[in-house]
Amino acid sequence: MNQPRGVGVTAVFVAAARALESARDDRLFNDPWAGEFVRHSGWNPPIDEIDDASRDELATWVAVRTKFLDDFALDSVDNGCGQVVLLGAGLDTRAFRLPWLRQVTVYELDTPEMVDFKAAVLGDTTPDVAARAVVPVDLREDWPAALREAGFRSDVPTAWILEGLLLYLPDDAVETLMDGIGELSAPGSAIGATITNIDVAATMNDARVLRDTLISREGWLSMLHWSSTEDPVAWFDSHGWRATAVQTDEIAQRYGRTMPEESLLTQVRAGMRFLISAVRKQD
């Protein structure tokens, strides 16, 4: 089995955080595959080696965004979306673990290497309700064509999920991605996304959990490209979406969680993290 490398390591890190959340008595979700992904990766994330506050912040951030986007996906399908598209799906298992109330097709797009690793761990596991279509493609390539070839229909309302994705794409690739989403989105389509606006270089300097991995500090920085946006609502509006942006701390409180006030990460944070829900504007 090929172990994840490059950006794929970030998916393992997120899986490790989801495994921690799944083990809690008051968990916001249960992802029984998360721990298996970590074990098969051959990487032992150094989560236990950092200060408690930083560990809690990272785990809470992943737990809150996962729950938010879980709810977004279920609500979007309940409101008429017949397709869910996970762009940069990583080790996401929403097709399997969410309690879909009606038939939906979940498309998972990621690099061939990540797709192969995920398939080796999942084996012949199939979702109970959702139809699952895996599309091995680099999002810097012609992913809309690959998505259509997998059966995607642009006349069906679609819920798009962009979780922990945009930072890893160059500015021009982000714009191209949003243009592609817009062209494929029927009326009634929606987007759920994370927007991270932080001082990445400072975080890499001070947060040990992000240094002691299979990737060097320089490797991490080489993968982080998008300059983000200070006004997510206006940015989504410019791409044809009516968006609501909520800061992570507020969502955490909604779910009964609290982001630590002091940690290595909060000390260097120069921006904010937002959770986005948006609907396609009508012409």
| Residues 45-62 pLDDT 10s | 655 555 555 567 778 889
Residues of the chain with pLDDT under 50: 206-214, 226, 263-270
Helix (H, G, I), strand (E, B) or coil at 222: helix
pLDDT the model gives residue 216: 52
Q: Is the C-alpha dihedral spanning 112, 118, 121, 127 positive or negative?
A: negative
* Percent helix, percent strand, percent coil in the chain, to nearest 5: 45, 15, 40
CATH code, domain carrying 132: 3.40.50.150
The per-residue DSSP string of 51-99 comes to -HHHHHHHHHHHHHHHHHHHHHHHHHHHTT--EEEEET-TT--HHHHS-
Contact 210, 203 (CB under 8 A): yes
Question: 158 is written with which tokens?
Answer: 């679609």
**The token pair that represents 24 in the structure block:** 């809690």
C-beta separation of 85 from 161 below 8 A: yes
Q: What is the pLDDT of residue 126?
A: 95
Q: Does 2 map to a domain?
A: no
Q: CA 116 to CA 78: how far, in whole Å?
A: 31
The tokens for 236 are: 């989504």
Among residues 41, 53, 65, 103, the alpha carbon closest in space to that of 261 is found at 53
- pTM score, two decimals? 0.88
The predicted pLDDT at position 209 comes to 46
Instruction: Give, as one character, the DSSP assignment of residue 126.
Output: -
Residue ranges of alpha helices (H) inside 158-199 are 171-184
In a domain, 1, yes or no: no
Confidence at residue 202, expressed as pLDDT on a 0 to 100 scale: 52
Structure tokens at 6: 């490059």
Please report the pLDDT score of residue 55 as a whole number: 66
Please state, in angstroms and rounded to a whole number, the distance separating the CA atoms of residues 197 and 201. Answer: 12
Distance CA 38, CA 34 (A): 7
Q: Give the pLDDT confidence score for residue 211 in this predicted structure.
A: 45
- Look at the chain and report how many structural domains it folds into: 1
Q: What is the pLDDT of residues 69-113, one digit of tens each?
A: 999 999 999 999 999 999 999 999 999 999 999 999 999 999 999
Which residues are bridge partners to 191 per DSSP? 160, 278
For the purposes of burial, counting CB atoms within 10 Å of the CB of 99, is it exposed (0-12), middle (13-18) or buried (19 or more)? exposed
For residue 165, what are the domain limits? 7-280
Within a domain: residue 38? yes
Q: Taking the CB of residue 10, how many other CB atoms lie within 10 A of it?
A: 22
Strands 190-197 and 272-280 turn out to be antiparallel
